[in-house]
Amino acid sequence: MGRHIAFVLALWKTNLLSAMEYRVSFLTQMAGMMLNNAIYFVFWIIFFARFEEVNGWDLVDMLFLFGVVATGFGVGTYLFGNAVRLSLLIASGQMDYYLSLPRPVLLHALASRSNASSAGDCAYGLLSFGAAVYFAGAFDILMLLRFGLGCLAAVTVLISFLVLVQSLTFWIGNTNLLTSNAFNAIVTFSLYPITLFDGTAKLLLFTLIPAAFIGALPAEFVRRFDLAQLAQICAGSAIFLFLATFVFYRGLRRYESGSAFQVRT
Amino acid sequence: MANGGIRQASPVNGVRSPSLKAALGKYWAIFRTQLVNSLAYPIDLLGRSLLIVLFMWIFMNLWRVTYGASGAHSIAGLTLADTMWYLMMAEAVMLSKRDLSEEMTEQVKDGSVAYLLNKPFNFILYHFAAGLGHSVLAFGGNLVIGAAVVWLMVGPPPGIAGWLFAGAAVILAWLLDFCFSALIGLSAFVVEETAAFRWIYQKFLLLLGGVLIPLDFFPAWLQTFSLNLPFAWVIYGPARLFVEPSLARLGQVLLQQGIWLALIGGTVWILYRRAAARLAINGG
């Protein structure tokens, strides 16, 4: 276990050093993504300026929601950057490289790439959480711990969901469209108050498109402690992590090598 | 400049100007090729159109709750049905427009722009014709699926005038959006990485263009501010015309689109000529 952790840390360090070679591009993309998220949030400022609340959710709830989602999304896609292009690696035979090395294939493949713009998501999420705490007027160290746990759950469920969907490539070949639609769906749903949706829709958001585990549920948990929510978050993360790992390695047995020369620099 | 470099003096040097009919024929052929190409993958086309179902479903939940909580039949002159049909048209335009800036940026970065610049067509018009071929089909798919979903949710769409007026405005909206894409794409000649500009433009469209919320719901000062920017005339103009199709509004939308097209299109043209004249292509 310790060896695997040291290996992943070394990968992340290499990715960071690689990004720092193009410092201006890294910072431009980071700042661009922060601005991008901020402009999107203005929609909710305008909305709540006019309608005050929607089914019990107000602007401060949305700040908590954006804090958890953006941080979780940013950390997840920065540290495991290949999670958004796993289907491409599988379909184009690029898993050969990871299979030929004595390291956990999935972990190695996911952590081999970092997205510069994701650092902007992460920074924006932290700012949003800071603003939420300021406007809520309540902060203690336990809230910070809950925020850390909520973000960890968001990262786990998001990356697991992306792996799960793209692992279907092993069986059905091209899943570009499915991946793109699934990605859009989970990001879009996670950024809306869950109280907008009724019973059946809510069930979907906890199962087929688990956006509730990435957004609303951890955001509510960060705001106030609830044992039932903590249990849901832990159970949801564990189940999706197990499913993703299980389905990926099942599919890997069907993987066909691309037999192509690959050069990695 | 490295050995073997070519400096292009002018994008049109030494080429005899073709007749208007021949010129239009070339771009019509590019448009048709792209159209046929998109038709070759009907499942892909259908799959991409399914995204509008997701957005309409979320919007329906959001605005049903909001209208219910406010207790008003209409907000800023729009009923729930008007709002949903407005959002359907706004999303159909948004999801069907082809963002060419990414493609243009890649062509500048990997040097393949050289192969397009020496062809007997204009680089900018080539991209516009190809993009239009893609957008027409995507728009059709989004419109059919989006309209079916919204009809089920809130009842029948606006009358025929709404479809016709909005249709005319959508064509100019694509043209205006294309000018922005070209502006972002051409900036690759200077900055190489254009992703941040693209994200910000998309977000301006979402917010100040009126994709997420009709501009009528904005505070008065922000509404005035948004209507004085070009983004509103890419999305809000056609979508609002769809639910309130009057001749006065049609005139206003087309006039605003025409003014912004002249301004932004003119800027693109000047920048393109300068960039192409300064382009240094190395290697062979």
Rounded percentage of chain B residues whose pLDDT exceeds 70: 91
Domain count, chain B: 1
Contact B280, B5 (CB under 8 A): yes
Q: What stretch of H or E contains B74?
A: strand B74-75
pLDDT of residue B6: 37
Residue A18 lies inside a defined structural domain of this protein: no
Residue B6 lies inside a defined structural domain of this protein: no
Q: Which of A27, A46, A53, A189 to mutate to test the interface with B (most CBs of B within 10 A)?
A: A46
Q: Average per-residue pLDDT in chain B?
A: 86
Residue A225 lies inside a defined structural domain of this protein: yes
Contact status of A174 with chain B (Cβ, < 8 Å): no
Whether residue A41 is predicted with pLDDT greater than 70 in this model: the reply is: yes
Closest partner residue to A51 (CB to CB) among B44, B66, B193 is B66
Residue A198 lies inside a defined structural domain of this protein: yes
Q: Residues A43-72: what's their mean pLDDT?
A: 94
> What confidence tier does B283 reach under pLDDT thresholds 50, 70, 90?
low
Look up residue A63 and give its two tokens: 């700040």
Contact status of A43 with chain B (Cβ, < 8 Å): yes
Residue B55 lies inside a defined structural domain of this protein: yes
Residue B217 to chain A, least CA–CA distance (Å): 8
Residue A257 lies inside a defined structural domain of this protein: no
> What confidence tier does A61 reach under pLDDT thresholds 50, 70, 90?
very high
pLDDT of residue B278: 65
Helices (H) and strands (E) in chain B, counts: 13, 4
Residue A16 lies inside a defined structural domain of this protein: no
Least confident of A163-167, A176-180, B195-199, B278-282: B278-282
Stronger pLDDT, A203 or B107, i.e. the higher one = A203
Whether residue A32 is predicted with pLDDT greater than 50 in this model: the reply is: yes
pLDDT of residue A87: 92
Q: Residue B195 and residue A29: Cβ atoms within 8 Å? A: yes
Residue B142 lies inside a defined structural domain of this protein: yes
Q: Residue B222 and residue A46: Cβ atoms within 8 Å? A: yes
pLDDT of residue B10: 45
Range of the domain at A96: 25-252
Residue B63 lies inside a defined structural domain of this protein: yes
Residue B7 lies inside a defined structural domain of this protein: no
Residue B14 lies inside a defined structural domain of this protein: no
CA atoms within 13 A on the CB side of B125: 13
Whether residue A165 is predicted with pLDDT greater than 90 in this model: the reply is: yes
> What confidence tier does A265 reach under pLDDT thresholds 50, 70, 90?
low
pLDDT of residue A263: 59
Domain count, chain A: 1
pLDDT of residue B12: 45
Whether residue A197 is predicted with pLDDT greater than 70 in this model: the reply is: yes
pLDDT of residue A117: 86
Q: Residue B65 and residue A40: Cβ atoms within 8 Å? A: no
Alpha helices in A92-175 (DSSP H): 96-99, 105-111, 116-136, 141-167, 169-172
Cα A231–chain centre separation? 20
Interface confidence (ipTM) of the complex: 0.81
Q: Residue A28 and residue B48: Cβ atoms within 8 Å? A: no
> What confidence tier does B14 reach under pLDDT thresholds 50, 70, 90?
very low
Residue A160 lies inside a defined structural domain of this protein: yes
pLDDT tens across B114-130, in order?
Answer: 777 777 778 888 888 88
Range of the domain at B144: 19-276
Q: Residues B103-122: what's their mean pLDDT?
A: 77
CA atoms within 13 A on the CB side of A120: 20
Q: Residues A224-244: what's their mean pLDDT?
A: 96
pLDDT of residue B2: 36
For the question of whether the overall pTM of this predicted structure is more than 0.80, the answer is yes
Burial A231-245 (b: 16+ CB within 10 A, else e): ebbeebbeebbeebb
Q: Which of A36, A52, A115, A117 to mutate to test the interface with B (most CBs of B within 10 A)?
A: A36
> What confidence tier does A259 reach under pLDDT thresholds 50, 70, 90?
low
pLDDT tens across B207-245, in order?
Answer: 999 999 999 999 999 999 999 999 999 999 999 999 999
Q: Residues B170-189: what's their mean pLDDT?
A: 90
Which residues on A lie below 8 Å from B207 (Cβ)?
39-40, 42-43, 46
CA B243/CA B157 separation, integer angstroms: 8
Contact A93, A258 (CB under 8 A): yes
